[in-house]
Amino acid sequence: MNHPAQANGGSRPLQDRFGRRIDYLRVSVTDRCDLRCQYCRPRHFDGYAEPEDWLTPLEIERVVAAFARLGVGRVRITGGEPLLRRNIGGIVASLATLPGVHDLSLSTNATQLTRHAAALKQAGLHRLNISLDSLDRECVADLYGRDSYDAVMAGIMAGKAAGLVPIKINMVAMRDVNEHEIERMAAFCLDNGFILRLIEAMPIGEAGRNASYLPLDGVRERLIERFDLEPCARELGGGPARYWQTRDGRGQIGFITPISQHFCATCNRVRLAVDGTLYLCLGQEARFELRPLLRAGIDDCSLDAAIREAIELKPERHEFIEAPGRIMRFMSQTGG
Ligand code: SAM
């Protein structure tokens, strides 16, 4: 395992103009998905990136290698649904061996995971984030537009059996949709050794704006009482989730509150979309196009400089509350 400081040869860490250290990259390998989550993608959407605009595996590797040289050691592969990208195992393998990448995870809806779990582990993937909003078959079908319950549950267990742990389960908590299932989901995760992370729905794109927002403060109070939680003694994950743990040591539950208690002041991440667009903030349009540079034959040194230039564009904060209609693209286009 390489440490980022070794890989970047002691060069200046990647920092934005607000003094935030950038050390986390999300890499979308496709904008396609086999589910249509109500809060993510509009039902009749068909404006996907053209295949000739998708970064090739080699281009993805070059960009991630450049970020790693600049001290970005945590990388999460995402989408769309990343397991739909052809030769995802090869992409994982190429990123897993990059100097400086010390935490390589993948975010999936788990529908295809039974087929891929062992190979992903073999390719060098460290761990999984799995999206699961409900344990109720009908609710899953309704939310995801397809009866995927059995495939998802089998996929989750295959990921666990393959040792892609710790597995974090991401649940977008929504009023009147799955709010009543939160305790059940927490018990399921604690029983299986998964780390539940509850997430507030964000007004990203038309679908996100129509999602039924539920602030998590009340939910947290409920769970503290029900599962006898206390704040986690040590920081987990290095991201925006605030973790609580059961006093009996069974496990942790995280709360991600981009709306009710935003964490922009400590935002440490940027997102690379499948077409090579670098998005600097989920809730703003700020972006930087890397594909034209890659295809024009940019050298490594200039690529590093271009990334530094891009980071200068990172906005101070999202404006989901002040301007909820601003972001037209949706999560699986950006790379969630
Ligand atoms: N398909 C993969 C998965 O299911 O994890 C990766 C892509 S998916 C877009 C990444 C995450 O974004 C999922 O956990 C999903 O729940 C979340 N997401 C999508 N739209 C959202 C929204 N409007 N608000 C909050 N989270 C959202």
Non-local (6+) Cβ contacts of 10 within 8 A are: none
Provide the pLDDT for residue 46.
80
pLDDT greater than 80 at residue 24: yes
Provide the pLDDT for residue 58.
98
- Looking at every residue in the chain, the average pLDDT score rounds to 93
Provide the pLDDT for residue 3.
43
Provide the pLDDT for residue 320.
87
pLDDT greater than 90 at residue 330: no
- State both tokens at 209: 């704006």
Ligand 1 touching residue 108 (CB < 6 A): yes
pLDDT greater than 60 at residue 7: no
CA 228 to centroid of ligand 1, rounded, Å: 28
Ligand 1 touching residue 199 (CB < 6 A): yes
* Ligand 1 atom at shortest distance from the alpha carbon of 172: 16
Ligand 1 touching residue 202 (CB < 6 A): yes
**What's CA 251's distance to the chain center, in Å?**
21
Pair 130, 148: CB distance under 8 Å: no
* Ligand 1 atom at shortest distance from the alpha carbon of 203: 23
Provide the pLDDT for residue 4.
45
What's the pTM value of the predicted model, to 2 decimals?
A: 0.95
Ligand 1 touching residue 331 (CB < 6 A): yes
Provide the pLDDT for residue 6.
43
Ligand 1 touching residue 144 (CB < 6 A): no
Ligand 1 touching residue 28 (CB < 6 A): no
Higher per-residue confidence, 45 vs 272? 272
CA 168 to centroid of ligand 1, rounded, Å: 13
pLDDT in tens, 124-138: 999 999 999 999 999
Average pLDDT (311-316) is 97
Average pLDDT (290-303) is 98
Average pLDDT (310-323) is 92
Provide the pLDDT for residue 305.
97
**Which of 131, 274, 334, when mutated, tests ligand 1's pocket best, judged by the most ligand atoms within 8 Å of its CB?**
131
Provide the pLDDT for residue 166.
97
Query: Of the given ranges (75-89, 159-173, 267-281, 311-325), which has the lowest mean pLDDT?
Result: 311-325
Q: Please report, rounded to a whole number, the percentage of residues in the chain having pLDDT higher than 90.
A: 84
What is d(CA 177, CA 29) in angstroms, rounded to the nearest whole number?
Answer: 30
pLDDT greater than 80 at residue 139: yes
Reading across the β-sheet that carries 74-78, which strands appear in turn?
Answer: 229-231, 242-246, 252-256, 195-200, 168-173, 127-131, 103-108, 74-78, 24-28, 269-272, 277-279, 287-289
**Which of 26, 38, 199, when mutated, tests ligand 1's pocket best, judged by the most ligand atoms within 8 Å of its CB?**
199
Provide the pLDDT for residue 44.
80
Ligand 1 touching residue 113 (CB < 6 A): no
Higher per-residue confidence, 57 vs 332? 57
Q: How confident is the model at residue 43 (pLDDT cuts 50, 70, 90)?
A: confident
Residue ranges and CATH numbers for the domains of the chain are 4-165+266-334 (3.20.20.70)
pLDDT in tens, 199-246: 999 999 889 988 999 999 999 999 999 999 999 987 777 789 999 999
Average pLDDT (146-156) is 97
CA 336 to centroid of ligand 1, rounded, Å: 5
Query: Secondary structure of the chain in the HEC alphabet?
Result: CCCHHHHCCCCCCCECCCCCECCEEEEECCCCCCCCCCCCCCCCCCCCCCHHHCCCHHHHHHHHHHHHHCCCCEEEEECCCHHHCCCHHHHHHHHHCCCCCCEEEEEECCCCHHHHHHHHHHHCCCEEEEECCCCCHHHHHHHHCCCCHHHHHHHHHHHHHCCCCCCEEEEEEECCCCHHHHHHHHHHHHHHCCEEEEEECCCCHHHHHHCCECCCHHHHHHHHHHHCEEECCCCCCCCCCEEEEECCCCCEEEEECCCCCCCHHHCCEEEECCCCEEECCCCCCCEEECHHHHHCCCCHHHHHHHHHHHHCCCCCCCCCCCCCCCCCCCHHHHCC
Average pLDDT (148-160) is 98
- Bridge partners (DSSP) listed for residue 28: 78
CA 54 to centroid of ligand 1, rounded, Å: 20
